[in-house]
């Protein structure tokens, strides 16, 4: 028998030397893997992704996407398993599909709490998550509720509005941007940078490529402008540098951590609000249920998040060979976690395409799961709850028109959502 060192064939996906006999064994395991040539990032799929997600779920819990040479996890059980096991399915090598983007957004000096594992993740999360706890948010609850009431008063006067620009964007752009405390030029660019950030997480298609100059602009802003002296004193962003001065985090981490407040703090809440408005407008019986019983409000918010996860996918790097119902995913693979597919998995949810605010839906994965659960989810729920309570106080019903879908590689939401408001005192 020839020595093992003569059987070396090449390197595997992880860049490790691999013997030919081992490679053949591994490839034989993959012969029967489910495959699809679907492109999840076309305009057609972005406009209506749910039939495609169902097709992928029917193929198997893990499916090889030949178009992008990446795995995807399709079903609720598998998605929750991946999200809950950061040791096997790590974010420390990035959560994008493009290797260059992953390198630029992970590692020392570049990572944030999403693109890091413990112990660095815990150090970052203690700082960036501090103002986002329910206890900390109690200090700004009254301000958010007052802003929401003033907003709804204005809506009742105008009657015909854009549900995105005139409603969903208002609280995040007025409250969150002020709390973060960026310089004025940064505030004006937050939405644009956030959209670019999420586009860059997908493939380098037209959307991804066009995002790169804006990502570089954001990077330079975080290094040169989002710094002490230019940030609002004691704002959320300024507290990152305060923590570095106390030795709680390395100073080189501050620019990467700054991105947490610029990207995820806006678009996800805005899109979640838009989805809730759309579904309540399309289902007036559910709006009336809510008017008659406000204890259903948390369920209504969760149901909109389940139906339309604002972040439809992120990726993970596989540290160790893993099996999903006998489907083998090799070490070194990159896989997509399909949050939006998991939230409509027929194996988990009865009649998953129906909007039902009475459904037991608190275990959806729109905010993630495990250590990387969205740090801003309590803020998002506070903003949406305040808005809906103000609407329930003043609005008898509202109608929605056809939305304009936002074209984004990893987000699902609307650019426009026509609303017609019928205040309670004049409703017909």
Domain span at 256 = 32-423
Q: What pLDDT was estimated at residue 1?
A: 36
Backbone angles phi, psi at 233, to 5 degrees: -60, 125
Q: What pLDDT was estimated at residue 31?
A: 52
Nearest-angstrom CA–CA distance, 410 and 55? 19
Report the share of the chain in percent with pLDDT over 90: 83
Q: What pLDDT was estimated at residue 262?
A: 81
Rounded to the nearest angstrom, the gap between the alpha carbon of residue 241 and the centroid of all alpha carbons in its chain is: 25
Q: Give residue-wise pLDDT tens across range 275-288.
A: 999 999 999 999 99
Nearby residues of 109 by Cβ (< 8 Å), 6 or more positions away: 250, 252, 253, 255, 256
> Does residue 262 lie in a domain region?
yes
Q: What pLDDT was estimated at residue 202?
A: 97
> Does residue 377 lie in a domain region?
yes
> For residue 273, what are its two tokens?
């609000």
Q: What pLDDT was estimated at residue 126?
A: 95
First to last CA, the chain: 88
Cβ–Cβ under 8 Å, residues 385 and 410: no
Query: In the predicted model, what is the mean pLDDT of the chain?
Result: 91
Band of pLDDT at residue 215, cut at 50, 70 and 90 = very high
Q: Give residue-wise pLDDT tens across range 229-275.
A: 999 999 999 999 999 999 999 999 999 898 888 877 788 999 999 99
> Does residue 322 lie in a domain region?
yes
Q: What pLDDT was estimated at residue 14?
A: 47
Band of pLDDT at residue 30, cut at 50, 70 and 90 = low
Rounded to the nearest angstrom, the gap between the alpha carbon of residue 330 and the centroid of all alpha carbons in its chain is: 26
Nearby residues of 217 by Cβ (< 8 Å), 6 or more positions away: 189, 193
Band of pLDDT at residue 184, cut at 50, 70 and 90 = confident
Q: Is the pLDDT of residue 359 over 50?
A: yes
Q: Give residue-wise pLDDT tens across range 40-68.
A: 999 999 999 999 999 999 999 999 999 99
Q: Is the pLDDT of residue 20 over 70?
A: no
Q: What is the dihedral of CA 368, 163, 412, 178, to 10 degrees?
A: -50
Nearest-angstrom CA–CA distance, 227 and 238? 7
Number of neighbours of residue 386 by Cβ within 10 angstroms: 23
Rounded to 10 deg, the angle between the 206-224 and 184-200 helix axes is 140
Nearest to 179 by CA among 393, 405, 352, 379: 379
Band of pLDDT at residue 426, cut at 50, 70 and 90 = low
CATH number at residue 148: 1.10.630.10
Q: Is the pLDDT of residue 102 over 70?
A: yes
Q: Which residue is it, tokens 């493939």? A: 203
Strand ranges of the sheet holding 62-65, from the earlier edge strand across to the other edge: 35-36, 62-65, 70-73, 334-337, 314-318, 89-90
> Does residue 15 lie in a domain region?
no
Q: Is the pLDDT of residue 173 over 50?
A: yes
Q: Is the pLDDT of residue 22 over 90?
A: no
Q: What pLDDT was estimated at residue 323?
A: 97
Q: Give residue-wise pLDDT tens across range 129-138.
A: 999 999 999 9
> Does residue 110 lie in a domain region?
yes
Q: What pLDDT was estimated at residue 79?
A: 99
> Does residue 65 lie in a domain region?
yes
**Lowest mean pLDDT, pick from 97-101, 140-144, 176-180, 403-407:** 176-180
Q: What pLDDT was estimated at residue 176?
A: 86
> Does residue 306 lie in a domain region?
yes
Q: What pLDDT was estimated at residue 266?
A: 87
Q: What pLDDT was estimated at residue 177?
A: 86
> Does residue 19 lie in a domain region?
no
Cβ–Cβ under 8 Å, residues 304 and 331: no
Judging by DSSP bridges, how do beta strands 395-400 and 314-318 pair with one another?
A: unpaired
Q: Give residue-wise pLDDT tens across range 400-422.
A: 999 999 999 999 999 999 999 99
Q: Is the pLDDT of residue 11 over 90?
A: no
> Helix (H, G, I), strand (E, B), or coil: what is residue 94?
coil
Give me the number of domains the chain comprises: 1
Q: What pLDDT was estimated at residue 428?
A: 41
Q: Is the pLDDT of residue 427 over 80?
A: no
Q: What is the pTM of this model?
A: 0.90
More confident residue, 162 or 186: 162
Q: Is the pLDDT of residue 394 over 90?
A: yes
Q: What pLDDT was estimated at residue 385?
A: 98
Number of neighbours of residue 68 by Cβ within 10 angstroms: 19
Question: CA quadruple 301, 306, 309, 315: dihedral positive or negative?
Answer: positive
């Amino acid at each position: 028998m020839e020595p093992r060192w003569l059987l070396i064939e090449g390197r595997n996906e992880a860049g490790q030397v691999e013997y030919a006999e081992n490679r053949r064994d591994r490839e034989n395991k993959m012969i029967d893997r489910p495959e699809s040539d679907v492109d999840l990032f076309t305009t057609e799929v972005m406009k209506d992704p749910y039939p495609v997600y169902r097709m992928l779920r029917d193929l198997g819990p893990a499916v090889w996407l030949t178009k992008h040479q990446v795995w995807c996890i399709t079903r609720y059980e598998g998605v929750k398993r991946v999200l809950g096991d950061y040791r096997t399915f790590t974010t420390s090598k990035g959560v994008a599909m493009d290797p260059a983007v992953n390198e630029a957004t992970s590692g020392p000096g570049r990572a944030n709490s999403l693109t890091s594992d413990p112990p660095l993740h815990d150090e970052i999360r203690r700082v960036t998550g501090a103002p986002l706890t329910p206890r900390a948010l109690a200090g700004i609850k009254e301000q958010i509720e007052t802003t929401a009431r003033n907003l709804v008063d204005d809506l009742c006067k105008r009657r015909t509005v854009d549900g995105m620009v005139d409603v969903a964007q208002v609280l995040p752009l007025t409250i969150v941007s002020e709390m973060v405390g960026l310089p004025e030029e940064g505030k004006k660019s937050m939405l644009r940078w956030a959209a670019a950030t999420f586009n860059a997480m997908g493939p380098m298609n037209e959307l991804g490529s066009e995002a790169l100059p804006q990502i570089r602009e954001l990077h330079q802003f975080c290094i040169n402008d989002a710094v002490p002296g230019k940030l609002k004193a004691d704002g959320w962003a300024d507290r990152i540098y305060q923590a570095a001065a106390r030795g709680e985090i390395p100073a080189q981490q501050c620019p990467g951590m700054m991105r947490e407040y610029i990207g995820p703090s806006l678009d996800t809440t805005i899109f979640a609000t838009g989805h809730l408005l759309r579904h309540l407008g399309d289902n007036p019986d559910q709006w009336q249920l809510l008017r008659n019983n406000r204890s259903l409000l948390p369920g209504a918010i969760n149901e909109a998040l389940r139906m339309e996860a604002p972040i439809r996918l992120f990726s993970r790097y596989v540290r160790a060979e893993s099996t999903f119902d006998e489907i083998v995913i090799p070490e070194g693979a990159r896989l997509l976690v399909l949050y939006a597919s998991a939230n409509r998995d027929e194996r988990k949810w009865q009649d998953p395409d129906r909007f039902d605010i009475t459904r037991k839906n608190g275990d959806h994965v729109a905010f993630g799961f495990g250590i990387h659960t969205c740090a801003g989810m309590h803020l998002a729920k506070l903003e949406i709850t305040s808005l809906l309570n103000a609407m329930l106080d003043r609005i008898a019903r509202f109608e929605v028109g056809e939305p304009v879908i936002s074209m984004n590689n990893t987000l699902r939401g609307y650019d426009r959502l026509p609303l017609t408001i019928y205040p309670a005192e004049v409703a017909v």
